[in-house]
Chains A and B, each alone.
Chain A
Amino acid sequence: MLIARVVGTAISTIKDPKMQGDKLLILKQTDHHGNEVGKPFVAVDLVDAGEGELVLTGHGSSARQTHLTKDCPVDAVVMAVIDHLEVDGEVVFRKE
């Protein structure tokens, strides 16, 4: 899994028939302090995450291990919203 921040939403009408109704979030991977690193990617939202939140994403065939994404052409899902991150015993991020 990766730690990522929700930066936006992708809206699509023409998509694979198995993906109708899925919410597609634009995310950027972050480090363990919540700082954005790297390039954006898109994942199916399973947990109704909001823009600005830190989340966990599952990738590859693991992303198809949910009721919503089983047998779908999906390679990334948001499967958790992060409340806080602890590193070396210190809370380094806390959800507002």
Chain B
Amino acid sequence: MLIAKVIGATVSTIKDEKLTGRKLLILRQADETGAPFGKPYVAVDTLDAGSGDLVLTAHGSSGRQTAQTSNSPVDAVIMAVIDHLEVGGEVVYRKE
């Protein structure tokens, strides 16, 4: 799984019928302190994550192992919203 920050949403009307009603969020990978880096990617949101939230995303066939994404043309899913991150015994990120 990757740590990622929600930076926006994509809205699409014309899409595969299995994706109808699915929320598609734009994310950037983040490091262990929550700082984003790299190129954006898109994942299906199953947990109602919000903009600015730090989340975990599962990729590949693992992205289809949720009730909302099974048998769908999906390769990334948000499967956890992060409350806090601990590194070296210290809390380095806490959800606001």
Contact = CB atoms under 8 A, between A and B. Distances in A.
Interface of A: 7-16, 18-19, 24, 26, 28, 39-43, 51, 60-61, 63-64, 71-76
A9 B87 CA distance: 7
B62 A10 contact: no
Given A64-B65, A75-B1, 7 more contacts: A8-B87, A8-B88, A10-B80, A14-B80, A14-B81, A61-B62, A74-B1
Nearest to B92: A8
Nearest to A70: B65
Interface of B: 1-3, 29, 31-32, 37-38, 46-47, 56, 58-63, 65-66, 69, 77, 79-89, 92
A24 B86 contact: no
B62 A60 contact: yes
Contacts of B62: 60-61, 63-64, 72-75
A76 B61 CA distance: 12
The 5 closest A-B CB pairs, nearest first, are A8-B87, A15-B80, A75-B62, A12-B80, A73-B79
A18 B29 CA distance: 23
B58 A51 contact: no
A10 B46 CA distance: 19
Contact of B79 (A9, A15, A39): A15
Contacts of A16: 46-47, 66, 79-80
Contacts of A15: 47, 56, 79-81
Contacts of B81: 12-15
Most A CB within 10 A of own CB, among B61, B62, B69, B87: B62
A60 B63 CA distance: 10
A94 B5 CA distance: 36
A34 B56 CA distance: 25
Contacts of A13: 81, 83
